[in-house]
Amino acid sequence: MSLFRRRRPSVPQRPAPEGADVPVAIVGGQQEAEAVPPAVRAAASWSWRALVIGGAVAASIYLIGTIKVIVVPIAVAILLTVLLTPVRNFFERRLRFRRGWAAGTSLIALLVLVAGLVTVAGRSIVGGFQDLADQAQAGFNEFVDWLASGPLHIDASQLSSYTDDITSAVSKNQSQIVAGALGAATTLGHVLTGALIALFCTFFFLLDGRLVWGWIVGLMPARSRDRIHQAGRRGFVTLSAYTRTQILVAFVDSVGIGVGAAILGVPLALPLAILVFVGAFIPVVGAVLSGTVAVLVALVANDWVTALIMLGIVLLVQQIEGHLLQPFLMGHALSLHPVAVLLAVAAGGFTAGIVGALFAVPIAAVLNTVVLYFHGHDKFPELGKEDHLTLRGEEVLPSDGETPVMVRRSEIGLLVANETGAPRPQWQDAEAAQRMAEWRERFRRGGDENG
């Protein structure tokens, strides 16, 4: 039977003579891995990591696009919070308002200001739109006469045929036009919903912004919380510098172009100034588009000489902005090269339209500051590291100083195991080892005192 089968005695193998070919056993593909050049292995490692990062970024963009009705109002609320924080501090510290009253008063003041600007601009548009429409009709008639009597020699019959073609195309695509109108109505509903969400979030960010930030930081690993908090403080300063600088730059642009349009007698000077103010929040592209609108209005309402002068005013204002205001006011707060700004605006515009172009530069600036801080370069050393969050009644202390971050129970268990003779864990850095040694010494002292 097989159970009582006698095993064959093992024969000792003789060592192979020198120079003989010895078969090598491949364990876990190690021999094949050594056959691949190091450059190819490094390229493969970078490739799959880049694919994973690209997939994560694409999934994040898709998710943000799916819930953009919520994400965009929250982003607007963060910008409004950065803008209104000094106003809230003024009401709270100088006028002795409570935090809730200060936040509410700041938000109401902003709403009153926006409503006033919209009212004044609306009256100006209602009063000057009819004159502008008449002047545009007269300019179109002059253009038609030039087509007939100019070098193109296009007679009235050809123009009427072109008009009929346009009318027939509009009638054929009437269903698409109606669908577009319904889509615009839906978009208007989303805008109103987003405005309510933005105002609601702005109020509570002004009221309990530190608590909200503390909750977010509390979701991070315990050893990284203070470092994330310090990076967030620097990102907030960067966002504040960007927002206030853009407001000042937009104000200078709107005043320069608006005053120039008023001096030249261009109608709708105030609405044009407000349009320039809003467009200036989109770097590079917004100023160009709003200036183009001002030049076109001057061309339609006046003549080509006025349009050329208006173009010169727009170019002058933009040169002052690009070579004086932006470098002087931004300073090292953003530290973004103009090429990086242009690429960020282009990427944001292609990805998310006007909203992406609006938020591309502040997001890039904040990421630049945060990433540099995590890599050891502090752009705002004057902020210091004395400000710490309080989570669940305990202050989050830095992990790289004399007092370590709150130690988790698992780490304490490892320390107790080490004291009882268990093998020590292989820590990856010297700071963690030093931190564990300090806590081990504290446990030893506590045990000696308790006897």
Tens-digit pLDDT profile for the chain (451 aa)? Answer: 444 455 555 545 555 555 444 444 444 555 555 677 888 888 888 999 999 999 998 898 888 888 888 888 999 999 999 989 999 999 998 888 999 999 999 999 999 988 888 888 777 776 666 666 666 666 666 666 666 666 666 666 666 676 666 766 666 666 665 555 555 556 777 778 888 999 999 999 999 888 899 889 888 888 888 899 999 999 999 998 888 888 888 888 888 888 888 888 888 888 888 888 888 877 667 777 888 888 888 887 777 888 889 889 888 888 887 777 766 666 555 677 777 878 888 888 888 887 888 888 888 889 989 999 998 888 888 888 888 887 776 667 776 543 333 334 444 444 444 444 444 444 445 556 666 677 666 656 654 444 4
- pLDDT value of residue 338: 74
The angle, 0 to 180 degrees and rounded to 10, between the axes of the packed helices 68-89 and 338-374 is 80
Say if CB 431 and CB 400 are below 8 A apart: yes
Q: Using CA atoms, how far apart are residues 241 and 328, in angstroms rounded to an integer?
A: 12
Distances (CA, A) of 135 to 88, 129, 140, 296: 47, 10, 9, 12
- pLDDT value of residue 148: 65
End residue of a domain, out of 208, 230, 263: 208
Q: Using CA atoms, how far apart are residues 89 and 96, in angstroms rounded to an integer?
A: 10
Q: Using CA atoms, how far apart are residues 280 and 247, in angstroms rounded to an integer?
A: 8
- pLDDT value of residue 135: 64
Asked whether residue 190 falls in the same domain as residue 249, the answer is: no
Asked whether residue 299 falls in the same domain as residue 151, the answer is: no
Asked whether residue 361 falls in the same domain as residue 317, the answer is: yes
Q: Using CA atoms, how far apart are residues 78 and 448, in angstroms rounded to an integer?
A: 52
Asked whether residue 87 falls in the same domain as residue 233, the answer is: no
Q: Using CA atoms, how far apart are residues 271 and 306, in angstroms rounded to an integer?
A: 18
Asked whether residue 180 falls in the same domain as residue 314, the answer is: no
Distances (CA, A) of 181 to 69, 176, 184, 446: 20, 9, 5, 75
Say if CB 107 and CB 206 are below 8 A apart: yes
Coil vs helix vs strand at 268: coil
The number of beta carbons lying within 10 Å of the beta carbon of residue 363 is 14
Residue 7 lies in a domain: no
Total structural domains in the chain?
3
Q: Using CA atoms, how far apart are residues 51 and 55, in angstroms rounded to an integer?
A: 6
Q: Using CA atoms, how far apart are residues 116 and 113, in angstroms rounded to an integer?
A: 5
Asked whether residue 242 falls in the same domain as residue 358, the answer is: yes
DSSP character at residue 128: H
Asked whether residue 273 falls in the same domain as residue 367, the answer is: yes
Q: Tell me the residue range of the domain where 300 lies.
A: 220-383
Asked whether residue 179 falls in the same domain as residue 149, the answer is: yes
| Residues in Cβ contact with 54 at an 8 Å cutoff, skipping those fewer than 6 apart | none
* Among the listed residues 303, 260, 271, the one whose alpha carbon sits nearest the alpha carbon of residue 135: 303
Residue 20 lies in a domain: no
* Among the listed residues 361, 359, 344, the one whose alpha carbon sits nearest the alpha carbon of residue 76: 359
Asked whether residue 118 falls in the same domain as residue 252, the answer is: no
Q: With a threshold of 0.75, does the pTM exceed it?
A: no
| The two structure tokens encoding residue 49 | 């990591």
Q: Which DSSP helix (H) or strand (E) runs through 395? A: strand 394-395
Q: Which DSSP helix (H) or strand (E) runs through 390? A: strand 390-391
Handedness of CA 273, 276, 280, 284 (dihedral sign): negative
Asked whether residue 149 falls in the same domain as residue 255, the answer is: no
Coil vs helix vs strand at 297: helix
Q: Assign 3-state DSSP to the chain and report helix, strand, coil percentages, each to 5.
A: 75, 0, 20
Asked whether residue 233 falls in the same domain as residue 196, the answer is: no
